[in-house]
């Protein structure tokens, strides 16, 4: 009886191993791609890596260089964008601006007041037509919403408030206002009188100034630019004791 010949095995790995290797490579590539876009946390990464290890039955080595890369990813992704810093900034000054803007929105006055951030402090800019008629220093009756916002913020603030009037570059000449200097100053004084006489704000924490057309926001020779330059600014000046943390000068939520 003849002996049965042994089955000859093919040399090398089975064909399915090539497909399996390609699949593992694709999974690893996909994982690295996700990693490059991820907001990395080293501890969470180790947990996720353990799950992949259990699922695939493979071992990953995480060395110091890779942890450094993960930490760098965190630092890069945590950097606020320009758009984000304009609204809810993470700097002390940015936090003040964000709180002020939130308060203004709560009062439904966001269409009347522009908020800016300067070295002096937070600035509320209001175009002249919201507060005054053309060539006048008498407050309009419908200016009450802006005044209410200023009074409300002032009550939650520990520093000085500077009220500053500005005009455009078109000259004015009248018996009451010989030049834009008189008009811009008279308007800032009119606002101060409203705050002190009618709203009973502490006059010792207020000051006024008029700059005529000498501090324009837009130098273009257009009607839009001139309208932007005609304004009253309310500057909530950072108190010296709160220079490092201006937010501490406010009791806003």
What would the pLDDT profile of 55-106 be if each residue is shown by its tens digit?
555 555 555 544 454 444 444 344 443 444 444 455 666 788 899 999 999 9
What is the arrangement of strands in the sheet containing 121-127, beginning at the earlier edge strand? 114-117, 121-127, 231-237, 161-166, 206-210
Q: Rounded CA gap, 166 and 231, in Å?
A: 5
DSSP 8-state class, residue 205 = G
Q: pLDDT value at position 145?
A: 96
| pLDDT by 10-residue block (mean), the chain, 253 residues | 58 71 82 69 61 55 49 43 45 80 95 94 95 95 95 94 97 92 97 96 96 96 95 94 82 83
Cβ atoms of 113 and 79 within 8 Å: the answer is: no
Q: Which residues contact 240 (CB under 8 A, 6 or more apart)?
A: none
Q: Rounded CA gap, 89 and 80, in Å?
A: 8
């Amino acid at each position: 009886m003849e002996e049965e010949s042994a089955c000859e095995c093919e040399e090398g790995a089975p064909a399915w191993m090539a497909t399996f290797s390609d699949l593992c490579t694709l999974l690893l590539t996909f994982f690295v791609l996700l990693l490059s876009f991820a907001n990395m946390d080293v501890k969470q990464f180790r947990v996720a890596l353990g799950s992949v290890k259990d699922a695939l039955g493979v071992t990953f080595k995480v060395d110091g260089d890779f942890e450094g890369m993960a930490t760098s990813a965190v630092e890069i992704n945590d950097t606020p964008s320009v758009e984000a810093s304009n609204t809810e900034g993470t700097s002390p000054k940015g936090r003040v601006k964000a709180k002020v803007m939130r308060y203004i929105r709560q009062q439904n006055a966001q269409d009347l007041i522009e908020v800016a951030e300067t070295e002096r402090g937070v600035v509320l800019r209001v175009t002249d037509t919201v507060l005054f008629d053309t060539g006048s220093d008498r407050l309009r009756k419908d200016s009450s919403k802006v005044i209410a916002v200023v009074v409300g913020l002032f009550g939650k603030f520990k520093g000085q408030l500077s009220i500053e009037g500005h005009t455009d570059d078109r000259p004015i000449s009248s018996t009451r206002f010989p030049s834009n200097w008189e008009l811009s100053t008279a308007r800032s004084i009119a606002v101060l009188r409203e705050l002190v006489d009618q709203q009973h704000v502490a006059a010792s924490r207020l000051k006024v100034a008029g700059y005529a057309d000498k501090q324009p926001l837009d130098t273009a020779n257009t009607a839009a630019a001139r309208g932007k330059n005609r304004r009253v600014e309310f500057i909530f000046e950072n108190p010296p004791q709160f220079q490092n943390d201006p937010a501490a000068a406010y009791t806003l939520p």
